[in-house]
Structure 1
Amino acid sequence: MYVLFEDSGKFKAEKIFSDADSTLQVESASGKRSKIKKNTVFFEFEQPEPSTLLEQAETLSQTLDIKFLWECAPQEEFQATEFAADYFGHEPNAIEKTALILALHSAPAYFHRKGRGLYRPAPPEILNAALAAIERKRLQEIQQKAWTDAMLNGELPPEIAAVAGSLLISPDKNTQEWKAFDAAVTQSGLSAEKLLLKLDAWPSALALHRYRFFSQHFPRGIELPPVTLGDFLEGLPLTDAKAYSVDDAGTIEIDDALSVTKLDDDRVRIGVHIATPGLAILRDNEFDQMARKRMSTVYMPGQKIPMLPHEFVERFSLQAGAERPTLSLYVEGSLSTGEIFHSETKLEKIVVQENLVQSDLDPHVTLEALENPDVDLPYGDWLRPLWQFSRKLSAKRDEVRGKPENNNRVEYTFDLQGPPDDPDSPINLIPRVRNAPLGLLTAEYMIMANSLWGGLLVQLGLPGIYRSQQAMRTRMSTHAAPHESIGVPQYIWSTSPLRRYVDLVNQWQILAAAQHGVSARLVAPFKPKDADLYAIIGAFDSQYTAWGDFQHTIERYWVLRWLQQQDIHQVEATFIKEDLVRFNNCPFTTRVGGLGTLERGQQLRLEICQIDELQLDVSCRLLDVLDPPAAA
C-alpha cells in the first residue's frame, strides 16, 4: 500500500512500512524510511508505483483547464478528492485524484487553500484582482528583462538612467529598475559602479566620486543662505602689535596672525591673534545651527566648501589693512631659554600688516637666513625672534616626548588649473617639506596657543573639547589629558574657528575666560558636565572623518590624473612594509605583489601597468631594487 502526502510544501508518494495511531512510517524508493503524521496524508492507493503516479499525475494536471475547474467547482469549501469524482464523471483513480490536487494547488489565484486537500474557489472580484496583479507582474518581468538585456548590450535605458544615482547610494530593491540593474550586474560580472560607468551613467569616474559624496552629504546643494552681521568692533581696544599672517596661496579664511615685540635683548612679547566668529555665532542661534550642521570646511583640489557663509569670512577673516576683532594670546618669554614668564588673553581689535603667502617666502626663509643676522631676510625683524623662541619651545616639547619630531616628509599642494569637476583640468603637484622653517614656526605657535588656552580652561574650571594622545591612541574628550606625541600637558583645537566647529566651541569658552576671569563658569556657554559637548564630539568625529575620507579620495584621483597627464610609466618608490610602497614623486601609496623580503626604506623602480580611476589604484610591476637611501 502506498500513500500520497505533503512534506514541507512538496507532494510525495511512498510505500507504507508501518501504521500507528497518528503516524505512519513510510519508505522511499531509495529505501530511506521516515515518520509522517497522518494529517499530512491525502489518500492511500495500491496502484501505480509512487514514481509513476507523480510523473503521470503531473502530465495530466497540465491538461486540466483551471478556468473551467473554477467555473464548475462548488462555491463553498470542498475536498479535492470528492470534486475529482464530479469532474471526471467516475470514481477517479489515484492518478486522476493526484492530478486534480496538483492543478488546484498550482492556481492559488483561482482556489484558496483552506486545509489539507480542502479548497474554496476565489470570489469573482478577488479573482479578477489577482489575475490583474499576475498580468502586471508578467509585464513587469518582461520589462525588467528588456532593461537587463539592453544594459548587457551596452545601452542605458532612460528609466535606469533616471535612477542611476539611487542605485548606488540608497537603492529601493523592490523596484523594477533595481531588479533589472541587479540582474545586469550579476550577469555582466562587473561591479555596480563599473557597469554604470561603462553605460555612461556618469561621464567620468570623477563625476561618480563627486556624486556619491555630494548626494549623501549635500543633497540640497552646497550654497549657504546669505546672512546679515552686525558690528563687533565697538568698544574693543585697538592693539598696536604689528602682526602678519602666513597661509597657503588662495587661502581666504585667515584664522591666525603672529606678532612679536622685543622688550630687551632677551625678553620678547609674542602675540597669537585668532579670528573671532564666536562673537556673532552664539550657542543655538541660527549661525550656530549652520556651523554645527557642517562641522568643518571641506577641502578638495580646486574647491572647498566653507563651514560658514562668506559674510563671516569677509567680517572676521584677518585681512590685511582692515580692523578685525581678535582673540589674542600674549606671551612674554626669554629668547635664550624659551621660558614663558607670563601669558595673557585679550579680546581686542587688530589691523594685520600683511597676509603673507608661504610658498612665496619659503625659498628665502632658510635656516641660514633665520640664524645669521647678516643674511638678507624679508621680514627679518619679525621672523628671527619668532624663530628663535619657537626653537626653544620645540626643544622643551622634545624633552617631554623623549625624542625629536620627525617632520621631514614631503607634502604636496594640489594646484588645479581648471574646473574641479572636469577630469581634463591640468593638475600640478607642488612639493613642500613639512619641516620647512616657516611651516615649523607657525605650527609651533599654534601648538603653544592651543596648549596654553587649554590650560586656561582647566585653571578656571571650564569644560572644553580636548585632544589627547596616550598609548598611541588619539581621542577627543571634555577633560584635559596629555598629548604625548606633541609633548604638552593638554591640547585643544582653538586656532581655526572659521574652519572647524570644535575650535569655535572652544573659542566661546576662551572668550568667557578672557572677559570674566574667575567668574567665567557662571556665564560660559557650556557648564561642567554639559552632555551636549559629548554629542558635539561624536558628531564632529564622524563628519570630520567623512570630510577627510572624501579629500583623500579626490586627491588620489588627481594624483592618477597627474600621472597620466605627465605620461609617467615608471616611478621610483619607497618600500614601507609587506607589499606596501609609497611613490617618491607624488603623494600615493599602493600595494605591489611579488616584492619578496625587503628592508623598510628600500628604494624600488616600478612600472605602472594599469590605472583604475574608479578604484583609485594602480597596478604595478617591480622592475628593479635600488640602493636604500642614506636615511631610510
Structure 2
Amino acid sequence: MTGFRAEALTNKAQKYLGAIVEYLDQGRFRPGLVVRENDRKLTLSDASGREKTIASDLVMVRYSDRRANAANLSEVLSDLEAERAGLQAELDLSLLWEVVREQARSFTAAELAELFFGRRSQAAASVMLEALLNDRLYFVRRHMEFIARSPEQVERLRVQAERVRMRSEEFREIQHLMRQVLAGDYSSPTPEQIAAITARLRPYIENPFTRSRETTALLEQAAPDIEPVEAAYEILDRLGQAPPIARFAAIGGLRIEFPPEVIAEARGASPPERPLVNAGFTLTIDDEDTVEIDDALSCEEIPGGNLRVRIHIALVADFVAKDGAMDREAAERVTSVYLPETTVRMLPDAISCEAASLVAGNERPVFTTEVVLSAEGEILETSIYPGRVPIRQRLTYDEADSIIASGRSDSELARALRLLNSAAGMLRERRRRAGALLVQRRETKVKVRGDEIEVKMIDASAPSRTLVGEFMILSNFVAARYAAENRIPIIYRVQPRTGGDLPAQRPRLSLYPEYHAGIGLDCYAQVSSPIRRYADLVLQRQLVAALSGTAGALYSPDELLKVLAGAENAEAERRELERRAKRYWILRYLERNARDMELAALALRDGATAELVDFGVRGTLHGAPTLANQHPIAVQITRVDPLRGWLVMSYVGPRPEATEGAP
C-alpha cells in the first residue's frame, strides 16, 4: 500500500524521523512518534512511551503541523485523538455518497474530507482515509483515490451485508426457534423468545408496506418451502400471538375496517331521485349467505311471441361519488375478497349490503338493460337506462332450481323463472354456435367458523346459475355495444379468434371493441358487479354520465385504461389469495377428517395427478397405472400439508363413477 500524498500525508521519499505519523494496524490508524528510522523500518513511541517497530510501508499519515518530544508526546497524541474522535462522530459516508455519486470521477481522501467537513485539515483527511479504507459499501478504491459506487451496486452490497448479519448468533437463535415451531417439535419457548419473535413478525404481517428484506430472508431460510408471510402467520399462530384478524386477510395484507371518513360518507350518501320503472315481477337469485346483491331480473311476454327481459344492476354510481373518500378506498381495495373465514368488502356495509344492495321488499336505484328477444332467442331490441325498481322476491339458487325442475307455471314467480330459463338456454346455445367456450366445472365453497370447516361442492351448470350467468353476459354485451355505437370511451375485454388447433389467446383489455372468442360475442365489457368490483363501478359511472349528458364527469380513455389495468392486476392477486385460502382450508379439512378414507377421484395427466371429486383439489398420485384423463378412480391420502399446499395420494383402484357428497 502506498502512502497518501496531499497535505496531511507524505510519500515514501520523505524522512519520518521526529514526525508524528499514523500507521495501519488491523484496519485502524494508530498514532506514534518516529524515534528511529532504519531503511524500511521505523520505530515508534506511543503515548505511554512503549516502542514498536513497523514497516515504513504501513505509514498512512505524516503530520507536518504537529511537533512532539518525549516530554509532551502524551499530550499531543491525546489532543489528536480527541480531534479525530469528534470528526469520526460527524462523518456520514452515506451522506457523502449521496452528494458525489452522480459525479463520474475519482477523489482523493483529502478532497472528500474538505468537501464533507468544509475545511482543509490533516486530521480530517486522516479520518476520511481511515473510513474509506474500511468502507465496503459506498466507495471503491482505485490506488489511493476513491470512486462512488452506483446505486445498484450499493443496494446489492446492502443485501449481501444483511445476509452476513443473518448469520449472527441472535438471528441463528431466532431462526432455529422458527424451524422448531414450524416442525412442531419445540419445547415451551421462554417469554423473552416469544417476545422477540412477536416483535419481529407482528409488524411484518400487519403492515405489508414495511416488510423488510431482512425478515423475509430470515423466514425464507427458516422455511424455504413456505411463503414468508404464511410462515410468519403460522409461527405466531402456534405461539398464540397471531393478529386478531382472519388468517388469509392478514396474509394478503387486507384491511377489513374502513377509515372513519369512509364510514361517514357511506352513512350520509344520498342518491339522486330516479324514475320508477314498471318492471313487473323483479326477483334476485343468489347464494343463501349473499348480502351484496348486485343484480335482479324481470321479464314479460309481449305480442308476437317475444319476451322483454330486464336485467337490473345495482346503481352504485349514485352512492359513490368520483374522487370521494369511498371512491378512493374502493380504488385501493379493487374488489371484495371472499375468504373461507371472512369477507373483505370493497365498500362499507351501509352501501354494499344495505342502501345499494337489491334487497327484496325495497325499492332500489338500478342500471337497467332492457332486451327484447324473439321466440328463438334472437336479440331484437336493446336499451339501457338508470331508474328505480321495487325488488319483489329473493330466491336462493336451490330454491330457483327446485321451481324450475317442477315445471310449474301457477304463479307469477314460477312463470317468470320458466320464461327466463328458456330464454337463457337459447342465448347460451347461440353463443355456443358462435364459438363460445362453455366450460362446466363444479366449484368448491368453503366456510370456516371457529374450528368448524365446511366444504361444499357447487354445480356451476345448475339451471339457476346458468340462467343468472347468461343474463349477466347479455347485460355486459348490450352495455359494450351501446358504448361502441355511441363512441363512449370504455374498456372492452377482447379475445381474438385463433385458427385450427392453436390454443386460444388470453383475454386482454382494449380501448376498442373486438370479438371475444371465449364468450362468443362481437364485443364485451364487464359492468355487472359494481358493488364488488371497482372496474365495474368505474364503467357504470362512465355509462350513467353519458346517458345523463354530463360530459364533464366522463373518464378519458387514458384514465380508464390506467384505472382498469391497475385494477386488473390487483384483482388477479386477490383471486390468487382466494384460491390459496380455499386450498389451505380444504387440506386442513382432509387432514382432520379423511386421512384413512377411500376417496373418489379423477385421474389426470395419465395418472400422474388426480382431483378429489368431492373437494375439487388436485394432488400428486402415486402407484397408478397409465390412465385416461378423467378416469374415475379410488385413492387414499398418504400425505397432506396445508401450510405447504402439499397433497399426495396413493392409487387404490378403479372406481365406476365418482361419489356424491363429502365424507
Cα displacement (A) at 1:74: 2.1
Q: Is the 8 A contact 1:233 1:324 kept in 2?
A: no
Please list, as runs of the form range in 1=range in 2, the aligned pairs for 1:157-556 lying within 5 A after superposition. 157-165=194-202, 172=212, 185=222, 200=236, 202-203=238-239, 214=250, 217-218=253-254, 221=257, 225-227=263-265, 228-232=267-271, 234-264=273-303, 266-313=305-352, 314-335=354-375, 337-366=376-405, 369-370=406-407, 379-401=413-435, 405-407=438-440, 409-416=441-448, 418=449, 422=450, 424=451, 426-470=452-496, 471=498, 472=504, 473-516=506-549, 522-523=551-552, 525-527=554-556, 530-556=557-583
Cα displacement (A) at 1:277: 1.2
Task: Find the residue that maps to 2:263 and give its secondary structure.
Answer: coil
Task: Find the residue that maps to 1:225 and give its secondary structure.
Answer: helix
Please list, as runs of the form range in 1=range in 2, the aligned pairs for 1:80-229 lying within 5 A after superposition. 81-84=40-43, 100=54, 123-125=80-82, 126=84, 154=186, 155=189, 156-165=193-202, 172=212, 185=222, 200=236, 202-203=238-239, 214=250, 217-218=253-254, 221=257, 225-227=263-265, 228-229=267-268
Distance 2:538 2:398 in 1: 31
Task: Find the residue that maps to 2:523 and give its secondary structure.
Answer: coil
The one of 567, 575, 585 aligned to 1:558: 585
Match of 2:33 in 1: 74
Structure 1 residues 244 and 204: CA distance shift in structure 2, 3 A? farther
In terms of mean alpha carbon deviation, does 220-229 or 207-216 score higher?
Answer: 207-216
Q: Is the 8 A contact 2:585 2:642 kept in 1?
A: no
1:223-280 CA distances to partner (integer Å, 9 max, x unpaired)?
6533243443535234242200001111111111000111137122111111101123
1:339-397 CA distances to partner (integer Å, 9 max, x unpaired)?
2221122221110101211133334432xx34x76xx7893211111112112211111
Distance 2:567 2:36 in 1: 65
Cα displacement (A) at 1:492: 0.9
Distance 1:250 1:534 in 2: 34
Q: Is the 8 A contact 2:281 2:413 kept in 1?
A: no
Distance 2:466 2:272 in 1: 32
**Counterpart residue identity of residue 396, structure 1:** R
Structure exhibiting the larger radius of gyration computed from Cα positions: 1
Distance 1:453 1:149 in 2: 58
Matched, 1:619 2:652: no
Distance 1:246 1:476 in 2: 29
Match of 1:571 in 2: 599
Unaligned runs of at least 5 residues, structure 1: 7-38, 41-64, 106-110, 115-120
1:567-595 CA distances to partner (integer Å, 9 max, x unpaired)?
44332221222633211110211233554
Q: Is the 8 A contact 2:514 2:523 kept in 1?
A: yes
Matched, 1:610 2:642: no
Distance 2:514 2:458 in 1: 32
Distance 1:512 1:547 in 2: 29
Cα displacement (A) at 1:206: 9.3
Q: Is the 8 A contact 1:605 1:623 kept in 2?
A: yes
- Residues matched between the structures, number: 520
Task: Find the residue that maps to 1:508 and give its secondary structure.
Answer: helix
Cα displacement (A) at 1:499: 0.7
1:505-542 CA distances to partner (integer Å, 9 max, x unpaired)?
111222134334xxx7x455124xx3111211221112
Structure 1 residues 563 and 377: CA distance shift in structure 2, 3 A? farther
Cα displacement (A) at 1:184: 7.8
Distance 1:151 1:252 in 2: 40
**So what's the TM-score if we normalise by structure 2?**
0.68
Task: Find the residue that maps to 1:226 and give its secondary structure.
Answer: helix
Task: Find the residue that maps to 1:328 and give its secondary structure.
Answer: strand
Cα displacement (A) at 1:445: 0.7
Structure 1 residues 303 and 157: CA distance shift in structure 2, 3 A? closer
Cα displacement (A) at 1:162: 0.6
Distance 1:415 1:438 in 2: 22
Distance 1:212 1:193 in 2: 10
Distance 1:345 1:612 in 2: 51
**Counterpart residue identity of residue 370, structure 2:** Y
Structure 1 residues 590 and 260: CA distance shift in structure 2, 3 A? same
Structure 1 residues 200 and 217: CA distance shift in structure 2, 3 A? closer
**Counterpart residue identity of residue 416, structure 2:** W
**Counterpart residue identity of residue 600, structure 2:** E
1:436-459 CA distances to partner (integer Å, 9 max, x unpaired)?
111111111111110011000000
1:418-473 CA distances to partner (integer Å, 9 max, x unpaired)?
2xxx4x2x122222211111111111111111001100000000111211222421
Structure 1 residues 429 and 212: CA distance shift in structure 2, 3 A? closer
Cα displacement (A) at 1:325: 1.0
Distance 1:77 1:496 in 2: 90
Structure 1 residues 563 and 127: CA distance shift in structure 2, 3 A? same
Task: Find the residue that maps to 1:257 and give its secondary structure.
Answer: strand
**Counterpart residue identity of residue 568, structure 2:** D
Structure 1 residues 75 and 476: CA distance shift in structure 2, 3 A? farther
Identity over aligned residues, as a percent? Answer: 20
Q: Is the 8 A contact 1:150 1:157 kept in 2?
A: no
Query: For the aligned residues, what is the CA RMSD?
Result: 4.5
Task: Find the residue that maps to 1:239 and give its secondary structure.
Answer: coil
Please list, as runs of the form range in 1=range in 2, the aligned pairs for 1:3-18 lying within 5 A after superposition. none
Distance 1:458 1:165 in 2: 50
**Counterpart residue identity of residue 430, structure 2:** K
Structure 1 residues 361 and 378: CA distance shift in structure 2, 3 A? farther
Q: Is the 8 A contact 2:444 2:455 kept in 1?
A: yes
Match of 2:139 in 1: none
**So what's the TM-score if we normalise by structure 1?**
0.71
